Amino acid sequence: MGFILKFSIINSKNISWESDQLLVFLVENNRPSQYFKKWQSLTGNNINNIIENASFSFKFGQDLLVRSSKNSILLFGYGETRKTSLDYEKLGGILFSKIDKLGFKEITIISNLEVSENKQNIIISKLLLGFKLKSYSFLKYKEKNKINSKKIEYVKVLKKEKKILEQQLYLNDNLISGIFFSKDLTFEPPNFLTPQEFVNQITSLEKIGIEIEVLNEKNMVELGMHALLGVGRGSAEKSYLVVMKWNGSPNSKKNIAYVGKGVCFDSGGLSLKTPRGMIDMKEDMGGAGIVVGAMKAIALQKVKRNVIGVVGLVENMPSSNAQRPGDIVKSMSGKTIEILNTDAEGRLVLADALYYTIKKFKPDFVIDLATLTGAIISALGKERAGLFSNDENLSDYIFQTGEKIENLVWKMPMDKIYGQKMLSKIADLKNIGTPEGSSIQAAAFLQNFVGRTSWAHLDVAGVVWSDRVSETHSGGATGWGVRLLFEIAKNNYRF
Ligand code: BES
Ligand code: MG
Ligand code: ZN
């Protein structure tokens, strides 16, 4: 849950050197700063002596807190300036953790780095991005901790030239809004985030200029989406397909599409999961959460491109009404599918969502995101998502973009032989193949519904949730992928 964390850029006249706030001096490898003098003359402390006497040399993330009678300073090392943008983001996360522990409500960051204006803007904006990313926590259901009075509220940054940095902070904020929205959705428990509630949440994006169209079960029956509808049959909750449209380039007919799997809870259906296997299944809407978060960031940033987001929202439950192993359903494409395992439901939702998106919007390319298979976690762990595509160029682009921002993916094979495992004896397709290579077989199944459109599928089962704490993540829903989709839309790939 994002809380109010205000940033502002101030000049040296607006610093209250003597107030009880915390001044954070970024220290580059022991180098003295002109601003030290100001503080020294007020407090009588000699910072250069302090730095010299420190038993370390202010490498990346090393810090020293100095309290004087007037106020406190935190000397915060960032090594050399020759670091990557990602390093600065991580440094910002480390700084947040430090300040959070110390319990300051207001800080002023003073950077006197001897680098170009451009580099300064990059360093500060990335530092603040990481700072804010690390500030996320989901406390909605904690009655006592909801309001943490010790949390930092206000960060001031000393900087002469404001304009470009302000633009970068604006972009940060938009991106963060999308990431936090996505995290919130994935954190929400399945008794709150039903398909209906998911629709309500998406509808809130109308006010930022996203056009929203909701297809209900009746509409989907008319369109013949029985693959998707079959999954939701066992649940008391109604199923939906939601289309989000961002018309950032109204004079162009071109558009791109993102499609997400939104299984709000995956019990496995009649092919019921084990208790252990079911524990994490509220996160089975993670793919849809990424798409919705990205659409929010794209709209807030007013990206000049037409972007379509489509999510299939269902709950997969067992009941006397549920779909059975052995059933044959007809998808919107006309292809029939023999259901042999009701737990292989994501591909059924995507079959109709992908087909509908491509038929209706004819996108230049489509990327789908789905927590599709447990097997992708066996293959790649929780560090990289599986990338499957019918277009080398698109998959290269996704891979490269992911490397830059650490939304990591890994290219998986798509040989025809995998697809043959998905052919049924009595229907056109079946929804499970053999146990070997089941992530690839799942991707091959999806390929039946994209025709010749340039398409990539990201199996995000491993990456939407991580209990590994990092510089910018405190565990839980990761928000993975929001930035990847945001960058792809913003960078005008194949525009
Ligand atoms: N939602 C699961 C995949 C999953 C597993 C996501 C673990 C996140 C963590 C998906 O619907 C599923 O159940 N897949 C089956 C497919 C199998 C029946 C072919 C699986 O992976 O076991
Ligand atoms: Mg399943
Ligand atoms: Zn699932």
- Identify which of 228, 231, 343 to mutate to test ligand 1's pocket (most ligand atoms within 8 A of the CB): 343
Tell me the average pLDDT across 446-450. Answer: 98
Confidence (pLDDT) at 161: 86
129 and 181: one domain?
no
Q: Is 273 a catalytic residue?
A: yes
**Which secondary structure element, helix H or strand E, spans residue 345, and what is its range?**
none
263 and 123: one domain?
no
Cβ(431) to ligand 1 under 6 A? no
Give domain status of residue 48, yes or no: yes
41 and 179: one domain?
no
Confidence (pLDDT) at 146: 59
68 and 188: one domain?
no
Give the domain CATH number at 196.
3.40.630.10
Give domain status of residue 319, yes or no: yes
Tokens (6 digits) for 339: 């259901």
104 and 181: one domain?
no
Q: Which of 261, 282, 347, 490 is catalytic?
A: 347
Give the domain CATH number at 73.
3.40.220.10
Helix (H, G, I), strand (E, B) or coil at 234: coil
Give domain status of residue 434, yes or no: yes
Separation between Cα atoms, residue 379 and residue 462, nearest integer Å = 10
Banded pLDDT at 463 (limits 50, 70, 90): very high
On whether the CB atoms of residues 489 and 397 are closer than 8 A, the answer is no
129 and 184: one domain?
no
Cβ(341) to ligand 1 under 6 A? yes
* Domains held by the chain: number: 2
Give domain status of residue 344, yes or no: yes
Q: Is 494 a catalytic residue?
A: no
Tell me the average pLDDT across 456-474. Answer: 97
Q: Is 253 exposed, middle or buried (0-12, 13-18, 19+ CB in 10 A)?
A: exposed
Banded pLDDT at 376 (limits 50, 70, 90): very high
Q: Is 250 exposed, middle or buried (0-12, 13-18, 19+ CB in 10 A)?
A: exposed
Give domain status of residue 140, yes or no: no
Cβ(459) to ligand 1 under 6 A? no
pLDDT tens digit sequence for 137-169? 999 999 876 555 668 999 999 888 899 999 999
Residues of the chain with pLDDT > 70, as a percent, come to 96
Cβ(73) to ligand 1 under 6 A? no
State the residue range of the domain holding 11.
Answer: 6-135
pLDDT tens digit sequence for 402-416? 999 999 999 999 999
